[in-house]
Amino acid sequence: MTDKPVGSSLLGGWLSAAGVVCIWSGWLVVSRLGVIQTLTIYDMMALRFAVAIIAVSPFIWRYWPRHMRLWQIVLISFGQGVPFMMLAFGGLQFAPAAHAAVVTNGTLPIFAAIIGWIWMKDRPDTWRVFGIAVILIGCSLIGWDRDTVGAGPDSWIGHLMFAGGGLLVAINLIATKTWGLTGMQAMVSIPTINLAWFGPVYLAFLPKALEQASWPEILLQAGYQGVLPSLVGVLLFTNAIRTIGPTPTAAMMAMVPAGAALLAIPILGEWPSLLAWAGIFLATAGIRLAAGWRPGG
């Protein structure tokens, strides 16, 4: 039996990308909720990978990416693993979910274009460069925003962390396509690699608040973090990259900022300001242009 993507058709790829948009929008809001409650960010990461490894353990031997070297697997795992989580969760301690959505997903196509140019000799055309400029304007508006609920004078720290997270995801995206990592291979290797080194560090050295947190809070973070982004999200994201390609997949991510901002209103009470909405609009348009969409196309 061969390891086939979830959808072998273009329709399956686009549906996979749409699923990732929904999961990532919800993940930003659930993660923001987690960092302002009782659990530490280290608790959240431990719950994420512990639940994921339990779910994928029966498939590790069968789907381990043996065609890749260990350093390649480790590099890819950074983009959806502990290094990315550290930057994302850390940034959400300083800035609201809407800011995270704009900066992380806005810098993603910028870094993807730069890495693609250096690594794959894929020089961006005029429209992509224009899209990058529009994204930068949108991110600049977010940088000036202090009226969105949850934004403060230290939001810039979160913005820098979100940009670092965008860089790691861009590396993950390009490397996944280049090295032919399948959805099932990513789903088993990413939690395995991350838990193998982070688990002992967490147990021995990092602060914990599991005993102080309520069971609903623990179950929400364990269930959402450990199942949707770590398993379903990885599978869909990888399938979208392999089926429709990195550029259209990145273009679909343009929907995440608005989705996260809308979800944050009823769940977190984080109402975006007019400046934030302008940044979201410009970043969304810029992401689409940088990812290959063309007016009238």
User: What are 30-47's pLDDT values in tens digits?
Assistant: 999 999 999 999 999 999
Answer for the pair 177, 246: CB distance below 8 angstroms, yes or no: yes
Give CA separation, 263 vs 195, 233, 256, 259, 266, in Å: 30, 18, 10, 6, 6
Give the per-residue pLDDT at 8: 52
Which residues contact residue 158 at a Cβ distance below 8 angstroms, ignoring those fewer than 6 apart?
Answer: 90, 91, 92, 93, 94, 95, 99, 100
Lowest pLDDT segment from 1-15, 176-190, 225-239, 243-257: 1-15
Give the per-residue pLDDT at 80: 86
Confidence of residue 282 (pLDDT cuts 50, 70, 90): very high
Tokens of 252: 């679909």
Tokens of 107: 């810098």
- Answer with the residue of higher pLDDT: 294 or 238: 238
Helices (H), ranges, the chain: 10-35, 41-56, 60-63, 70-78, 82-92, 97-120, 126-144, 155-179, 183-205, 215-227, 234-244, 246-252, 256-268, 274-290
Tokens of 232: 């379903």
Answer for the pair 213, 36: CB distance below 8 angstroms, yes or no: no
Decide if pLDDT at 216 tops 70: yes
> Distance between CA 126 and CA 290 in Å, rounded?
9
Decide if pLDDT at 260 tops 90: yes
Nearest-Å Rg of the Cα atoms of the chain is 18
Which residues contact residue 175 at a Cβ distance below 8 angstroms, ignoring those fewer than 6 apart?
Answer: 72, 75, 76, 79, 181
The predicted-structure confidence for 103-124, as pLDDT tens digits, reads as follows 998 998 889 888 888 887 778 7
* DSSP structural state of residue 254: G
Which residues contact residue 286 at a Cβ distance below 8 angstroms, ignoring those fewer than 6 apart?
Answer: 106, 131, 132, 133, 134, 135, 136, 137, 138
Answer left, alpha or beta for residue 85, where phi above 0 means left and psi between -120 and 50 means alpha.
alpha
